[in-house]
Amino acid sequence: MRFAPKSLFGRLVLVLLAGLVLSQLATLYINQTERDQLLYRAGGMRLAQQISDIVKLLESLPGPERRRVVAVFNRPPLAVTLDRPALDLRSEEEDADFQLSIFTSVLRYALGEDAKIEVGRTHRPSHEHGERGFGPRRRFGPPAFTVQVPLHDGTLVTFDSSVLPPVGTTTLRLALTLAVLLATVIVISLVAVRWVTGPLTVLADAAERLGENINRPPIPEAGPAEVQRAARSFNAMQQRLSRSIAERSRVLTAMSHDLKTPITRMRLRTDMLEDDAVREKFDRDLAEMEQMVTQTLEFMRDATDTEPVQRVDLMALLESLQADYEDMGKEVRIAGRVSRPLGARPVALRRCVTNLVDNAIRYGARATIDVAEEADRVTLRVLDEGPGIPEAKIERAFEPFFRGEASRSRETGGFGLGLGIARNIARAHGGELTLRNRPEGGLAAILTLPHPA
């Protein structure tokens, strides 16, 4: 579960929980206050009544009898003794005690206004109170007082009302109640959040996958009104993007396509030239134009390619490439092996590797393809012995028609779209293509492809 307040779920749970705990505490406070006041009144009244009854009884009895009677009454929660000296029960602090004064007046009412009673708080270890729970109980808990009443003959009767043993463990019950509520809130907020944010997740996934395929089917316009609106806007955006891209592709494709006829004418005308030096210059320019046109078309076609994924014998693919280059008089070396067939689009993958090998041969005369099979992927390193690319410009080599150095690209025609096409193919396979300068010199194009066992 994500409790991080960063997630919508975390935030919602936090808000719901805070609200719940606050309202619970408030309710508890109100309930407890009322209950305690009620308890106090009932308990205080009863205690005062009991004390006055005992006092009246003792008054009517002779000395020895009193002890017997006191022994009978001396039971929790009320301790009755006859031998205690006069205690200084009044203190300044207790004068202000609202509870105490109420109790005192109740007692006076029961015993008669002129009774010389002394009432004070019973001092107990605080844990007895603590056990009973919260602050309000300390003030309004069942009365716990020490009362001294002188009888007519001067005997001092001392009453000690003690706190009753706690009835059940209120704290535990409280905790249990809270726990149940807490669990309920968490489950409910989980459901609520999933319900509310589910469509948002769909939206986020869709946005992510848009990068891989601009023509993916539109997302369902479901969920809360706000999310529906977002989904609608998203679908509209995708449509506009897709239309705009298609439009541009059409223009670019048509233009590249139509350039082929004039280039053909120029080539044919060039072939008629008698001056070899001039013809060669024309040839080079035309070859460059032709490369741009064919690569542009290839690039445009790439986006709409729908070749199915098949199991491919990667070694056969590399060896057949090697044979093709050999027929053209170019050297390609292969190192390493792959034992299992690779899930890939064979024609696209071949084009990808061909583009990398073409670059390697153009810059470094020959290419080495280093294959390594790992548990979950295959890594192909296409190595050349050329000059490499300045570190700062290495990522820009993927840009269309990037030229590393003016002097070199005049001879080689630059990278064209080859690397961009190769990277697109790698990514469409769920892989990646990166470039790295080799410490021993030359460039390494590193192609990783997923290869699950």
Partner 1 sequence: METNDHVMVVDDDAEIRRLLGDYLRKNGYRATAVADGAAMWAALARGKIDLIVLDLMLPGEDGLSLCRKLRSESDTPVIMLTARGEETDRVVGLEMGADDYLAKPFSARELLARVKSVLRRYRALPMHLRADDATSIRFSGWTLDVRARHLVSADGVVTPLSGAEFQLLRVFLSHPGQVLSRDQLMSFAKGRESEPFERTIDLRVSRLRQRLGDDGGEPRLIKTVRGQGYVLAAPVTMER
Gap between the Cα atoms of 193 and 187, Å rounded:
10
**257 lies in the site for partner 1, by CB under 8 A:** yes
Of the ranges 69-77, 237-245, 266-274, 411-419, which one interacts with partner 1 (CB under 8 A)? 266-274
- Minimum distance from residue 313 beta carbon to partner 1 (Å): 5
Of the ranges 89-97, 136-144, 156-164, 314-322, which one interacts with partner 1 (CB under 8 A)? 314-322
Among 171, 242, 249, 270, binds partner 1 (CB under 8 A): 270
- Minimum distance from residue 372 beta carbon to partner 1 (Å): 20
Gap between the Cα atoms of 379 and 338, Å rounded:
10
Q: Which is nearer to partner 1, 321 or 443 (CB)?
A: 321
Q: One symbol per residue from 377 to 406: x for binding partner 1 (CB under 8 A), - otherwise; what is it?
A: ------------------------------
Residue 432, by phi and psi: left (phi above 0), alpha (psi -120 to 50) or beta?
beta
**300 lies in the site for partner 1, by CB under 8 A:** no
Gap between the Cα atoms of 179 and 185, Å rounded:
10
Q: By CB under 8 A, what part of segment 330-349 binds partner 1?
A: 341, 346-347
Q: One symbol per residue from 348 to 377: x for binding partner 1 (CB under 8 A), - otherwise; what is it?
A: --x---------------------------
Q: By CB under 8 A, what part of segment 100-159 binds partner 1?
A: none
- Minimum distance from residue 316 beta carbon to partner 1 (Å): 4
Three-state DSSP at 452 gives: coil
Among 96, 328, 406, 453, binds partner 1 (CB under 8 A): 328
Tell me which residue of 98, 100, 110, 102 sits closest to 51, measured CA to CA.
110
- Minimum distance from residue 303 beta carbon to partner 1 (Å): 14
User: How are beta strands 367-373 and 332-335 bridged, if at all?
Assistant: parallel
Q: List all residues 6 or more positions away from 9 whose beta carbon is below 8 Å from its beta carbon.
A: 1, 2, 189, 190, 193, 197
**327 lies in the site for partner 1, by CB under 8 A:** yes
Gap between the Cα atoms of 222 and 199, Å rounded:
7
**312 lies in the site for partner 1, by CB under 8 A:** yes
**310 lies in the site for partner 1, by CB under 8 A:** yes
Residues binding partner 1: number (CB under 8 A): 41
**8 lies in the site for partner 1, by CB under 8 A:** no
Three-state DSSP at 116 gives: coil
Gap between the Cα atoms of 430 and 449, Å rounded:
7
Among 31, 101, 233, 320, binds partner 1 (CB under 8 A): 320
Q: Which is nearer to partner 1, 66 or 351 (CB)?
A: 351
**306 lies in the site for partner 1, by CB under 8 A:** no
Q: By CB under 8 A, what part of segment 29-48 binds partner 1?
A: none
- Minimum distance from residue 264 beta carbon to partner 1 (Å): 4
- Minimum distance from residue 262 beta carbon to partner 1 (Å): 8
In angstroms, the Cα distances linking 351 to 99, 312, 357, 400, 420 are 94, 14, 10, 17, 12
Q: List all residues 6 or more positions away from 150 whose beta carbon is below 8 Å from its beta carbon.
A: 116, 156, 157
**Rounded to 5 degrees, what angle do the CA atoms 308, 312, 314 make?**
140
What are the contacts of 233-237 at 24+ separation with CB within 8 A? 234/203, 234/206, 234/207
CA dihedral angle for residue 404, residue 211, residue 357, residue 414, rounded to 10 degrees: -20
Q: List all residues 6 or more positions away from 287 whose beta carbon is below 8 Å from its beta carbon.
A: 413
Please give the residue ranges that form the binding site for partner 1 (CB under 8 A): 257, 260-261, 263-272, 283, 286, 290, 293-294, 297, 301, 307, 310-313, 316-317, 319-324, 326-329, 341, 346-347, 350
